């Protein structure tokens, strides 16, 4: 099941997610508020048309300028979350190097801080235990 936290993680690659609201009557749709329009545009350009949990995701700009939080005492079934104070925001500082590390989704992963002695077989086992299939490795010195 998709949660506000999983949406925060996915869209947080492309901008600082402020709020997420999964629609109560349409659980396959959500409103995602990012820090600014450039970040929203970046997320849309990289994520629109990508497959997530077997469905092609459609990402468009919303007519809503902000995502409203539920009224006090209203049970929204944990579908709305405010992330504005999150320490996980990557783009708070203007000119951050994180802006240079934005790429569309890829089948290639970059691992770092791999302990000495960990080999290809260890990594293949790790990923296969999580349901992944490793096609190739390249180790750098």
Domain layout of the chain by residue ranges: 4-92, 107-140
Residue 114 class from Cβ within 10 Å (0-12 exposed, 13-18 middle, 19+ buried)? exposed
What pLDDT score was predicted for residue 64?
Answer: 94
Residue 66: phi, psi to the nearest 5?
Answer: -140, 160
56 contacts 50 by C-beta, under 8 angstroms: yes
- Residue 9: band (very low, low, confident or very high) from pLDDT cuts 50, 70, 90: very high
Q: For the segment 66-120, what is each residue's pLDDT rounded down to a tens digit?
A: 999 888 877 777 899 999 999 999 998 877 788 788 888 888 888 888 888 888 8
Residue 32 backbone class (left: φ over 0; alpha: ψ -120 to 50; beta: rest): beta
What confidence tens digit (pLDDT) does each residue in 11-62 have?
A: 999 999 999 999 988 989 999 999 999 999 999 999 999 998 889 999 999 9
> Residue 32 pairs with which residues in a beta bridge?
20
Supply the pLDDT for residue 41: 95
Q: Is the pLDDT of residue 141 over 80?
A: no
Class of CATH domain 4-92: alpha beta
Question: Strands (DSSP E) along 1-141, which ranges?
Answer: 17-22, 30-34, 51-52, 55-56, 80-82
Most confident residue range from 64-68, 123-127, 137-141: 64-68
Q: Please state the pTM of the whole predicted model.
A: 0.79
């Amino acid at each position: 099941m998709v949660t506000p936290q999983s949406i925060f993680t996915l869209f947080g690659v492309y901008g600082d997610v402020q709020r997420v609201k999964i629609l109560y009557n349409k659980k396959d749709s959500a409103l995602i508020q990012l820090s600014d329009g450039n970040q929203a545009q970046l997320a849309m350009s990289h994520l629109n048309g990508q497959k997530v949990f077997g469905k092609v995701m459609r990402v468009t700009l919303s007519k809503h300028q902000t995502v409203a939080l539920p009224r006090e005492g209203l049970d929204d079934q944990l579908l709305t979350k405010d992330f504005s104070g999150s320490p996980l925001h990557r783009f708070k500082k203007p000119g951050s190097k994180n802006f240079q590390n934005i790429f569309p989704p890829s089948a290639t992963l970059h691992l770092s801080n791999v302990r000495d002695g960990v080999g290809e077989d260890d990594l293949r086992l790790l990923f296969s235990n999580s349901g992944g299939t490793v096609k190739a490795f390249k180790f750098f010195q």
